[in-house]
């Protein structure tokens, strides 16, 4: 089983690229954002808690996200692997993921990191808000908080995965097709 992590700041194009990656490599896409939005749409207790945190630009507690991820790993068996999108976001989550995978003798195959500058993050998030009607993407304060949270909590993962020889960075500033070609060239190695 292969375990890929799709990494990058908000608005880097992870969701856009994930669809093609999943199709080409027979992966099960696990987007924590989608899992959480499903809970919110269904009005579950988890969804209501998550909505208030997301609306404020905060992250949902680790144990909730980790439990959702492990459940998908344990129930989805008819795939060549998994593509994690939005998890891990912190070193603590990366360590928890390592422990989850170790239970079955597995490990992260590779991190595919799509990188873009902060100004492009703002432009893309505002554009996404207009197209998808996502309230969590429309507020400038929330956008700034998400960028700050990314830099403070998520960027340390670059060093964590570099140390494990798993980190691979892709320039995400090109066209969707250009970025996709770079990603496929990388993933074909695994």
pLDDT in tens, 123-166: 888 888 778 777 666 678 888 888 888 888 888 899 999 999 99
Q: For the whole model, what pTM was predicted?
A: 0.80
- 56 near 2, Cβ under 8 Å? no
The mean pLDDT value of the chain amounts to 88
Measured distance CA(88)–CA(27) in Å, rounded: 17
**In the chain, what percentage of residues exceed pLDDT 90?**
47
Peptide bond into 6 cis (omega under 30): no
- Residue 102 CA to residue 125 CA, distance in Å, equals 35
On the 0-12 / 13-18 / 19+ scale of CB atoms within 10 A, 41 is exposed
Task: Determine the Cα–Cα distance for residues 120 and 137; give it in Å rounded to an integer.
Answer: 14
Domains in the chain, ordered, with CATH?
A: 2-183 (3.40.50.300)
33 has a pLDDT exceeding 80? no
- The pLDDT assigned to 188 comes to 96
Q: Which residues, at least 6 apart from 173, have a Cβ–Cβ distance to it below 8 Å?
A: 116, 117, 120
Note the pLDDT of residue 166. 97
Examine the pLDDT at 167 and tell me if it is beyond 80.
yes
Predicted confidence at residue 137, as pLDDT, reads: 67
pLDDT in tens, 42-82: 887 777 888 888 788 887 788 878 887 888 898 888 999 99
Tell me: pLDDT of 28 over 90: yes
Whether the pLDDT of residue 38 is over 90: the answer is: no
If residue 119 lies in a helix (H) or strand (E), which one and from where to where? helix 118-132
pLDDT of residue 42: 84
């Amino acid at each position: 089983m292969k375990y890929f992590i799709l990494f990058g700041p908000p608005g880097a194009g992870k969701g856009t690229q994930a669809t093609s990656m999943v199709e080409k490599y027979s992966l099960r896409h696990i987007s924590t954002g989608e899992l959480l939005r499903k809970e919110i749409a269904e009005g579950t207790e988890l969804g209501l808690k998550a909505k208030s945190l997301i609306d404020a630009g905060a992250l949902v507690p680790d144990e909730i996200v980790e439990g959702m991820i492990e459940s998908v790993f344990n129930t989805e068996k008819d795939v060549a692997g998994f593509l994690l999108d939005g998890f891990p976001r912190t070193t603590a989550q990366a360590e928890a993921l390592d422990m989850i995978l170790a239970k079955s003798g597995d490990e992260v195959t590779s991190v595919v990191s799509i990188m873009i500058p902060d100004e492009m993050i703002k432009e893309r998030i505002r554009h996404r808000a207009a197209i998808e009607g996502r309230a969590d993407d429309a507020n400038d304060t929330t956008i700034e908080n998400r960028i700050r949270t990314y830099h403070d909590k998520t960027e340390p993962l670059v060093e964590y995965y570099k140390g494990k020889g798993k980190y691979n960075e892709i320039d995400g500033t090109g066209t969707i097709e250009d970025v996709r070609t770079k990603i496929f060239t990388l993933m074909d190695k695994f």
